Amino acid sequence: MNQPTRNLHQQIFDIIGQRIIAGTHAPGDSLHPDRLEQELGVSKTVLREALRVLASKGLIDSRQKRGTFVRPRADWNLLDSDLLRWQGASAEDENFLTNLGEVRSIVEPAAARLAAQRRDDADLAALADALRLMVEAGTDTHASVEADLAFHASLLAAAHNELLTRMEVVIEAGLRVRDHLVHSADQWADPVPAHRAVLDAVRDRNPDAAERAVQHLLAQATADVDDLIHDPDRGHHA
């Protein structure tokens, strides 16, 4: 095959992982390696490596007599970056969006409070740069999404809590799904004022104002997604 083996491992790993997340291979279902090899056109070595990685993330297991099977959802490492990515890729899943929205509502206001108390000049510069990119993005969907991600990652970093910063992978997954939904519509609310309010409060070292600003921003984000999900003409207006 022309593709490097490692890339092929990743492709097969992605295909099977997405199928499990989507329910095509449901918890308890058996996976038949010989059938997968034939269907996907890969060698035993490539498939074995893909299954090994999926097992490391809690998605599958292998037992004597039973063979390879999909583990119960409760065993899955749902905070793993690949699982978050797969859930986001199919995220017509309202439960996924709701869960991420709730996590963000718990984490980000608290992070904003800490950021207002602990931020340094480098943190303010990173937030200001992200806001500038947001302004410059205009109606460019990709640029808008990347600027939003940069802003929220900088806000978490400004809290100066190593464990809290690790929540970036969850926040990023939620933001990518939400932003692509909203920014794919013909029109969307200008995100700059709400983000500027967060930056201003952090700069002013005002924890209460920072928390309120993030809560307002998240409430608007949730409303935007709800409108799009429940709108039969979704993607045509926000």
What are 149-207's pLDDT values in tens digits? 999 999 999 999 999 999 998 888 878 877 776 666 656 678 899 999 999 999 999 99
- Are 61 and 55 in contact by the 8 Å Cβ rule? The answer is yes
User: 93, 106, 81, 63: which is closest to 14 by C-alpha?
Assistant: 81
Specify the residue for token string 């709701």: 98
Which of 206, 153, 208, 197 minimizes the C-alpha distance to 176?
Answer: 153
Q: Is the separation of the CB atoms in 69 and 49 below 8 Å?
A: no
Looking at residue 106, its pLDDT comes to: 94
The rounded distance, in Å, linking the Cα atoms of 223 and 124 is 28
pLDDT of residue 18: 94
pLDDT tens, position by position, 91-143: 556 778 788 888 999 999 999 999 999 999 999 999 999 999 999 998 888 89
Give the Cα separation of 87 and 82 in Å (integer). 9
d(CA 46, CA 37): 9
Domains of the chain: 5-75 (1.10.10.10), 81-229 (1.20.120.530)
Q: Helices (H), strands (E): how many in the chain?
A: 11, 3
pLDDT for residue 238 = 28
